[in-house]
Amino acid sequence: MRQLTSHLGPLIMLAAGLAFAIGAAATLDLGSLRRMGPGAFPLLVGSLLAILALIGLVQNLRHPMEMNRADPMAVLGVTGGVAAFAFFTPLAGVLPATTLAVLATGSVIPGFRWPHRIALALGVAAAVWAIFVLGLNIPFTAVRGL
């Protein structure tokens, strides 16, 4: 049972990756290499997730991981970060929501001081803006009201 539990994470990642890749390929327009369609990104990310899950699964089969107990505060921090992003994106825009999500997630890391948390949150928000808004021209509402 213990060994099956250690394989559960990579198996879930593999299933999710395959579901996204197959769903994108079957239902969305992939476009071309010069002009990607709406299905190209989910296909690429799903395939990459499935490949990484397979690598993790093979490594885990060769050298099984040691099981650690779940840290309830870490689970709460990650859940809070995802919830903050989902809740605040429509209200405030992608950049404030990203900043709040990183702050919520980083708040449960022991020894991670507030100046570092704030710098990380602003850096991640700047990277999101540079990659998705400037680089990929995705029409996000960066900051609502601006």
Residue range 117-134, pLDDT digits in tens: 999 999 999 998 888 888
Q: Other C-beta atoms within 10 Å of 95: how many?
A: 22
DSSP, res 31: B
What pLDDT shows up at residue 65?
66
Structure tokens at 31: 């476009």
- Segment 42-64 shows an average pLDDT of 86
Q: Are 141 and 94 in contact (CB under 8 A)?
A: yes
Say yes or no to pLDDT of 4 above 70: no
What pLDDT shows up at residue 34?
77
Say yes or no to pLDDT of 45 above 90: no
What pLDDT shows up at residue 67?
67
Cα–Cα dist 140/95, whole Å: 9
What pLDDT shows up at residue 3?
60
Angle of CA points 104, 105, 109, to nearest 5°: 115
Query: Whole-model pTM?
Result: 0.59
